[in-house]
Amino acid sequence: MPHRAPPDRKHRPRAVLALLALSQLIVAVDFDIVFVALPEIGRELDFSAQSLQWVVSAYTVALGGFLLVGGRAADRLGARRVFLTGTVVFGLSSLAGGLATSPEALVAARAVQGLGAAVLIPSTLKLINTNFAEGPARTRALAVWGIAGSSGAALGALGGGALTGFLGWEWVLFVNVPLALAASIAGITLLPADRGRGPNFRGFDLPGAVLATAGSTSVVFGLVNGPETGWATARAAGCLLLGAGLLAGFLFLERRSRNALVPLRMFRNRNLTVAVVMAFAFMSAIATEYYVFTTYLQETLDLGALATGLGFLPLSAFSMIGSGVLFPRLLRRWGLRTALLTGMAGFGASMAVFSASLSAGGSYWAVLPGATAWALFAGIGFPPIFLAASTGTATDEQGVATALTSTSQYIGGAVGLAVLVGAANTIAAAGTAPALVEGLRTAGLIGSAALVAIAFLSFAIPRPHRSPV
């Protein structure tokens, strides 16, 4: 695979941005596209009810575990080089997953997909932050990138339902192969060459990378296993304790390393610190809401996979309006702090409206206003998180800053889903339709209260960042 772009290649920012948004869309879609295919996957590959969750969890564990390494690799080895490697890994693992004939093979392929995504996410953000100057250009670029990310989950549900219904579950994985191939070819053609003399392996903190990856992977593994096996078991509590110990060792090492994977001084930038916390809360909420909405449509309203996917279309449209139209206007008029507060607080408040509308005798149209409201505010709240992470961060640390934010985001998704779905299942233990709805409603209301409270951390951002768009 070639790693250098021709030196006389003309920079085409719009084409580059389209490529990076497509790559973000692929990763975001893949997080949700398998949900509606799970029943068919379980039947055809003979998964047990207990092990079927690993079709999703393997992706999450690998993604959350390797993001920091992916971010530092983008900084040290070159964002273009890392991006091209990530597209190849993602495409080949998708092909392997579609060809899988056993649970073990599919779970392994999904884990490698997560590794590819962990490389792609920080490299796309690094390329945005280095190809678009801080200010209006970067704001517009992150708005487009945000549209791709915030609409990806809804499009994943729609695509998963359509592909499973018409072609079979394998195609929720096969569909990534031509997309990854197209992204690879476009990356070779469009992306400017990495600056410098080549990969800087001497500056790569290998011990820190091992500790960070092992620690975060162990924590996510424990969080995923907790609701399944019980929080006091070795697979849950043991992994959480091991992960905490490894991460403590990582922090001890980073304080003394000359080439730290994550220089701790970066957290003096309050924009970055707020972004990391907000990303955790945002993904906890969004993962919970997609679970609640999907479960309500399929289990309470008895909709099929395709109908459920179609039911997500309005959410996708409103999310795109939030990211592409309302966020830039808020940022221009009121600044970063207000844009972030509006998105996060509005998301939390509309979660409460949506949750209150759930009922055993309800309908799709009764819950749609609340669902589209939280999708709209989620679209507003997603881009400023990553804009905050990049603001005031040195160019050679953009990759690790965005990786920190993304790591917090995906670990937040695992934590939120584990805790809130666990609460929902406890309430729904009676097995009746009203009990199920009450459990879903409770999960949504708890998540709503937490998100509204955390939204006020926006005031920790030093000053409003006004930027004409």
DSSP per-residue letters across 79-148: HHHHHHHHHHHHHHHHHHHHT--SHHHHHHHHHHHHHHHHHHHHHHHHHHHHHS-TTHHHHHHHHHHHHH
- CATH number for the region 13-192+259-460 comes to 1.20.1250.20
DSSP 3-state assignment of 367? helix
Q: What pLDDT does residue 6 have? A: 44
Cα–Cα distance measured from residue 381 to residue 337, given in angstroms and rounded to the nearest whole number: 11
Count of C-beta atoms within a 10 Å radius of residue 196: 11
Rounded distance between C-alpha atoms, residue 340 and residue 335, angstroms: 9
Q: What is the pLDDT of residues 14-36, one digit of tens each?
A: 888 888 888 888 888 887 788 77
Query: Which stretches of the chain score pLDDT less than 50?
Result: 1-9, 197, 465-469
In the chain, what's the furthest Cα-to-Cα distance?
A: 68
Angle among Cα 309, 290, 117 to the nearest 5 degrees reads 90
pLDDT at 242: 93
DSSP code of 9? P
Q: What is the pLDDT of residues 29-69, one digit of tens each?
A: 887 788 778 778 888 998 875 567 678 778 877 887 788 78
Q: How far apart are CA 272 and CA 397, in angstroms?
A: 11
Dihedral (CA of 108, 110, 114, 117) sign: positive
CA 310 to mean position of chain CA atoms:
22
pLDDT reported for residue 8: 40
pLDDT at residue number 198: 52
pLDDT of residue 430: 61
- What's the angle, vertex CA 158, arms to CA 156 and CA 162, rounded to 5? 115
CA distance from start to end of the chain: 38
Q: What is the pLDDT of residue 154?
A: 66
pTM of the entire predicted model: 0.75
Give SS3 for 192.
Answer: coil
